[in-house]
Chains A and B, each alone.
Chain A
Amino acid sequence: MSKTAQPNDGPTVRRLQLGARLRSLRLAKGVSRDQAGWAIRASESKISRMELGRVSFKERDVTDLLKLYGVDDPGEHERLLALAREANTPGWWHSYGDVLSTWFQNYLDLEQAAELIRTYEIQFVPGLLQTDAYARAVIMLGHGTASKEEIDRRAHLRMARKQLLTRETPPRLWAVIDEAVLRRPIGGVDVQREQIEALLEASKLPSVRLQVMPFSSGGHAAAGGAFSILRFPYPDMPDVVYIEHLTSGLYLDKREDVDAYSAAVGRLVIEAEPPDRTPEILEQALRNLKG
C-alpha cells in the first residue's frame, strides 16, 4: 500500500490525511491539543478540527506544528506541506459545483481516492453501477421539477463518476444490494432490464464484487438503511462511513461508529448470496421481468 499522494485524490482526502498525520505526530511527541493550539496562536478546538480534517490548513500553521512535534526530516516536512497546498486544490468534479452541494463534493473527493468502497443499497442500484437511463429515472425522483438541462448535467456527472471503475488502478467496489433493487422497475421495465444487463456486465469486472441479499434472508444485519464505507490506501487514515440523507450527507470516522458499520457490512457480506452466485440471480431477475 502506497503512502504517497495519489493523483486522483481531492482536497477532502488531503485534509483528512494531513490531519491524521498531524495527530499521530502530536501523540508520538506527547503534546496536548492545548499546547499545540498555543503554538499556532489558536484554540484547542481548532487543533481538534484540523486533526479531523474539517478545516483547511495554512502552511505557516503546519510549519509551526511540525517544528513543535520535532519533525526535522526535510523530506517529511516537504511532503506534509505539499499535502497542505493540495488540500486547497479542487478535483475535476468541483466543476459541477452548480448541481453539487458541498457535502456531495466531499463525497466525490473521497470516492475518487478510495481503494475499497463497500456499499449497501436497499432501494436503488449503487450510483457507480447505474446506466444513464436508470440514473435519469432516479434523479427525476429526487429532482422532478428540475429543468432538463439540470437533469442532463446530474446524469452526466453520474456517468463520469463511473470511469473510476475502469481507470488504470481502480478501487474495488464491493456492493451488497437487496433483492428489492432487482424487483423494483425504476424508470419502467425496459430501463430496469437494461440496468440488470449492465449489472451482469459490471459483475464481470475484476474491480466489482456484487452480492445480493435475498428476500429469504429475514431480518438481516443492516435493518437501518443504505450506507457506504470508504477505505483509503493510507495507514493513518481511518475508514469513513457515508450515509446519504435527502438534503445532506453524514460522515462518520470515529472508531466506534466505523466499528458498528463495519460489523453491519460484515454481517451483510456473510449473509448475502456469495458473489459467484450473482450472475445466476441477475439472469433469473431478467427472466422474471420478461415473465
Chain B
Amino acid sequence: MADGRPEIPKLDTSVPQTARIWNHLLGGKDNFAVDREVGDQIIASLPQLAENARLSRAYLARAVRYLTGEAGIRQFLDIGTGLPTADNTHEVAQAVAPDARIVYVDNDPLVLAHARALLTTSAEGATDYIDADLRDPEKILDAAGRTLDFDKPVALFLMGILGHIEDDAEAKAIIASIMSRLAPGSYLAMYDGSDTSEANNEAVRIWNISANPKYHLRSAARIAGLFEGLELVEPGVVPVTKWRPEADAPEIDQYCAVGRKP
C-alpha cells in the first residue's frame, strides 16, 4: 500500500460544485454552504428548478425502464453520475433485469466515493466506477471495457452533462468517438436544459456566476443535431415530461431524446 498510490483529488468545499448543487435542489443532504447558497439563489430566480430536477430524474428512470424492457439492453455507460439520489440507474435497471451491468463515470471525487460505497450492484449484475472527464472518451472506453462487452449493445447516458460542453462540434465529436466503439443496436439517451424561456436563461446566468463547471443551454433543434447518424426513438426530441410519460405533466425547459445506433 505504501507506494504507487495515484495522486488523490481533494475535496473542495469552498467552490460550489454541480453535483452538490443538484443534490441540494433535489432535497439531499450531501452539500455544503457554498452549494446551498448558489442553489437558493437559482431557486429564487426560478422556483420551478427543483421540480425540474425531480422531473428530469423521473425521465431518466423511464428511459432506463424502456431500454431494459422493450429494447432489451443489459449494459449501461452512465457519464456524469452525480451524487446518489432515489432511482439510481443501476437500481432501476436491475429491478427489471438483475443481470444488468452499469459503469458510472464522474470526475468529482466526492461523487465517486459515494458511488463506490452506495451504488452497489445486485449479485447477478455488476457495477463499476470510473474517475474520468467527459472530454476524455478514450480513457472512459478503456476503463469501461473491464465491465462492459462492446460486442453487445450498450446504452450511453449523458444526463444533464452535455450542457457543460458549449460547442456543438465538440459535443458531437465526443458522442461520435464513444458511439463508434459501441455495437449496432446501442443507444444514446440524454437530457439537458433548454433555452426555451427567459426565466431559464436567467437561472443559468446566475449558475454560471459561481458554479463550477459552467453550463450552457441549447435549443431543441441543437439537441436534435447531437443525434446525427442515430435513429430517434418515438416521440423524438421533447421536454422530459413528454417522453413516454406515465402521468400528465406540463412542458418544462429540460429537453431529452433517446436515439438508436443502426
Given contacts A259-B32, A263-B13, contact A216 B118 (CB under 8 A): no
Query: Which residues in A have their C-beta under 8 angstroms from that of B146?
Result: none
B172 to chain A, nearest CB (A): 33
Which A residues are in CB contact (< 8 Å) with B1? 214-216, 273, 281
Q: Are B30 and A209 in contact (CB under 8 A)?
A: no
Is A270's CB under 8 angstroms from B13's CB?
A: no
Proximity bits, B112-154, A CB within 8 Å = 1, else 0: 1110111010000000000000000000000000000000000
- Asked if A269 and B29 make an inter-chain contact with CB atoms under 8 angstroms apart, the answer reads no
A267 touches B10 (CB 8 A): yes
**Which chain B residues border A239 with CB–CB below 8 Å?**
29
Chain A residue contacts of B114, Cβ below 8 A: 269
Whether a CB of chain B sits under 8 angstroms from the CB of A225 is: no
Shortest C-beta distance, A91 to chain B (Å), equals 24
Q: Which of A231, A235, A266, A281 contacts B110 (CB 8 A)?
A: A266
CB distance from A161 to the nearest CB of B (A): 22
A-side interface mostly = mixed
Q: 1/0 per residue B30-70: CB within 8 Å of A? A: 10110000000000000000000000000000000000000
A48 at the interface (CB under 8 A from B): no
Asked if B32 and A262 make an inter-chain contact with CB atoms under 8 angstroms apart, the answer reads yes
Whether, in the assembled complex, A255 has its beta carbon less than 8 Å from a beta carbon of chain B, the answer is yes
Judging by beta carbons under 8 Å apart, are B13 and A259 in contact?
yes
In this complex, how many residues of chain A approach chain B with their Cβ under 8 Å: the count is: 30
Question: Residue-by-residue, is A218-239 near B (CB-CB < 8 Å gives 1, otherwise 0)?
Answer: 0001000000000100010011
Please report which residues of chain B, range 166-180, place their CB below 8 angstroms from some CB of chain A when the two chains form the complex.
none
Does chain A have a CB within 8 A of B225? no
Given contacts A259-B32, A262-B30, is CB(A270)–CB(B120) below 8 Å?
no
- Smallest distance from the beta carbon of A4 to chain B beta carbons, Å? 16
Interface bin, chain B: 20 to 34
Would B8 and A206 count as touching, CB distance under 8 A? no
Nearest-neighbour CB distance to chain B for A269, whole angstroms, equals: 4
Shortest distance between the CB of A129 and any CB in chain B (Å): 15
For chain A, residues 253 to 279, give those with C-beta under 8 angstroms from any C-beta of chain B.
255-256, 259, 262-263, 266-267, 269-271, 273-276
Q: Does A1 contact B (CB under 8 A)?
A: yes
Provide the bound-state CA to CA distance between A226 and B118, in Å: 22
Whether, in the assembled complex, A46 has its beta carbon less than 8 Å from a beta carbon of chain B, the answer is no
Contact in complex: B2, A216 (CB < 8 Å):
yes
Cα-based distance from A209 to B119 in the complex (angstroms): 11
Structural contact, A271 and B33, CB atoms closer than 8 A: no
Residue A174 interfacial (CB < 8 Å): yes
A33 sits at the interface (CB 8 A): no
Given A209-B118, A216-B1, A273-B1; A266-B113 close (CB under 8 Å): yes
Q: B interface vs A, CB < 8 Å? A: 1-3, 5, 8-11, 13, 27, 29-30, 32-33, 86, 109-110, 112-114, 116-118, 120
A to B CB contacts below 8 Å, 6 in the list = A209-B120, A216-B3, A239-B29, A267-B10, A270-B8, A270-B9
Residues of A within 8 A of B (CB): 1, 172, 174, 206, 209, 211, 214-217, 221, 231, 235, 238-239, 255-256, 259, 262-263, 266-267, 269-271, 273-276, 281
Shortest 10 CB-CB contacts between residues of A and residues of B: A269-B113, A209-B117, A214-B1, A216-B2, A266-B11, A270-B109, A270-B113, A263-B13, A267-B11, A216-B1
